[in-house]
Structure 1
């Protein structure tokens, strides 16, 4: 189905990706702001605000009223915060489209941020913070980005610090909302069973939002050539690690090549690392590779949970496999990775929220709003030579290692990486 983009008079971009094969419609408001926009004093406010919009507006003064109004549509809803975007969505049926848009508009732009709600929710968020920091499987991602991005704003966690969370006040939320939640900073994506009058509905509720200006970020410094290791002590039988390399920004034309490489290295049960680290050596239960990307840079990472007594061996084996991949990738591996990617695209596009999210994110980074078929064609064009070249470009760099386990210093791991 055709993807269309319209722009309201105030600058809000509205993307429609209808599908005749679904009875649901997803409505996603995506705002170009996240933890990367925060100052030290209000660290965590992007995520905190995402929580607070469900606590009440003048029209819907309580969290219960908000919840009942959403659920009376037979809808599901949620929100999410990243380092460069924040999103709010409702998924419902098209006969409730108008009401769903009105509710989203009301809670996102008219929240009252009452003092008692802020105080209560700060306790909830502090518990969320503990949950992440006390679970190595969750915390390892934050630890890796903290060391990979060094002292840049991208290195700071999304949740914030204990002091910043406790210190946020009503005026802080209103100031932040007024600065970043402006029309030119917003993309609205609707997908699935999209009603014909979707644009007039958007105009009815969103045209009053002030235009503002689109968010920009300071260019970050490259950390190519810098080996970094961070070890966080935890007396566990299993250690969690991420080994990562500098890679591509999200809008890079070669990103599909990087994704195909990731599939070969650690994308499934037939992948190199799964076979070598888990199946042959029994070093890990879970191991996979993936890519992470932002507006001006990204990384290729391998994440694993390994036997603590064999963590050094695991790191050695992973590095060895990445070195081998620079020269001996095969056509069969290429084919399997590409087919897995094509299948993943097809499965994802069956869901209306996934479609809405895909197009909202592409619009945030000013990428072409390509169709599912066009995306699959791009994957099909990836050849073995380009993947080998990508492997050499990525794995020839100095790596970053983040590790949580019973290790009191990092020297043994420094030596392993120096020999790689």
Structure 2
């Protein structure tokens, strides 16, 4: 249950086994003359290398009425380049190396990645970089790619959790592009032309919007030389304006998805706008606290027998971040579940965390970081995550130092600002359409302590 939410948001693990951990090596960074950024992490104990191109060309940059365009562009890019003129040629070139190539689009970025044995790096990036340097964007492929995406949309719409997420994003972001689907909508996609695909690529696939990140058995010098050879001649572009989302703080707001599912589901979110690493870590600490066995799960699943599934997650956009609670419940227990959730949130606002619990959660938090840095792909995701949010990758040592500075009182102060009625947004799958009743539960449950 809630697999879609866990994949979209960063749910934190309930348990972790600590072990010693020391990081002395750093990320290396270079910015080419054309503005393209290169980040790398050399891992000498592995025989592979992963390279990822991240382009600030996600769905939030798409004009109203063209939802789905950024994802369609990603599909068209993967359809081939001048040197590899069709999707089979692209995949065959990588498969012959025993590697893999893939792409995806999020609300903020389009991502293209390849993984190969380190000795085959140059052959692999010849394929990967050609897709960015000289994509065909062939008009003849457009309608076929649209049909593939229509199937993706249909599969997504079949998933109740996806429909709940759509409801939540619409409630929170309203008409802002962050509230629209990455996949788009079939009626809008039908009207998108090849010229619009090419125009979006021209406007957003510019070097200032591109980060190339690699991890594995590759030196930074070699990576920079390869990137410069293939992408150093890309012309600078004119960065497009974008209206940043500002949280409205006009809650409590609730929206009900009227579905006859086997059980009710809810997604409760609290937007926040952290300005630095410390603020993000405080938000993530609260999520880790809620995920720990002493909080939501202990109360709603073990003691009160209210939930089939309940947890918390943290999601960051460069515009704003979200602290989320989600769960599945019997229909007749939803109101009581909301009360128990808000009671738990109020307790963090009212009572300082005990030292024993605080230290346990901090250790879980620390080991969670370690578990996320075990593979080249993990290092890339860590680097690009913080590069997107803060403008540069964060060194893990600095991350852990910030964690060490946190005190229980910091968590309490954040909870007092975060978990308030006017900052609460709730999407519910329920047979009862009366959103006002759910809003009143939030108003009462999150009111002054």
Question: Same fold judged by TM-score > 0.5?
Answer: yes
Which residue, out of 131, 145, 149, partners 1:125? 149
Following TM superposition, the consecutive aligned residue runs of length 4 or more in structure 1 with deviations greater than 6 angstroms are: none
2:85 is aligned with 1:55: no
RMSD: 1.9
Which residue of structure 1 lines up, in the alignment, with residue 348 of structure 2? 325
2:175 is aligned with 1:134: no
Residues 170-214 of structure 1, C-alpha deviations (whole Å, 9 max, x = no match): 111110000000011111111121145221111111112111144
Which residue of structure 1 lines up, in the alignment, with residue 4 of structure 2? none
Q: How does 1:18-417 map to 2 (within 5 A)?
A: 18-195=42-219, 196-249=221-274, 251=276, 253-265=278-290, 267-268=291-292, 270-328=293-351, 329-398=353-422, 399-417=424-442
2 CA distance for matches of 1:250 and 1:61?
Answer: 44
Residues 342-378 of structure 1, C-alpha deviations (whole Å, 9 max, x = no match): 1121111111112112212323344443322222222
1:231 touches 1:403 (CA, 8 Å); kept in 2? yes
Q: Secondary structure at the match of 1:160?
A: coil
1 CA distance for matches of 2:36 and 2:257?
Answer: 44
Distance 1:238 1:109, change over 3 A: farther
1:232 touches 1:404 (CA, 8 Å); kept in 2? yes
1:26 touches 1:190 (CA, 8 Å); kept in 2? yes
2 CA distance for matches of 1:243 and 1:288?
Answer: 11
1 CA distance for matches of 2:277 and 2:215?
Answer: 25
Residues 60-118 of structure 1, C-alpha deviations (whole Å, 9 max, x = no match): 22221111111112212222212222211112221111122111112234332333422
Query: Displacement, 1:385?
Result: 0.9
TM-score (norm 2): 0.88
Query: Displacement, 1:22?
Result: 2.2
| Structure 1 portions without partners, runs of 5+ | none
2 CA distance for matches of 1:136 and 1:335?
Answer: 37
2 CA distance for matches of 1:213 and 1:158?
Answer: 24
2 CA distance for matches of 1:351 and 1:406?
Answer: 44
Query: Displacement, 1:308?
Result: 2.2
After superposing the two structures, state which structure 1 stretch, 228-237 or 400-409, moved more.
Answer: 400-409
2 CA distance for matches of 1:375 and 1:418?
Answer: 35
Q: Secondary structure at the match of 2:326?
A: strand
1 CA distance for matches of 2:344 and 2:234?
Answer: 52
Distance 1:120 1:407, change over 3 A: farther
| Structure 2 portions without partners, runs of 5+ | 1-24
2:94 touches 2:100 (CA, 8 Å); kept in 1? yes
2 CA distance for matches of 1:256 and 1:83?
Answer: 22
Q: Secondary structure at the match of 2:300?
A: helix
After superposing the two structures, state which structure 1 stretch, 13-22 or 211-220, moved more.
Answer: 211-220
Which residue of structure 1 lines up, in the alignment, with residue 444 of structure 2? 419
Distance 1:216 1:91, change over 3 A: farther
TM-score (norm 1): 0.94
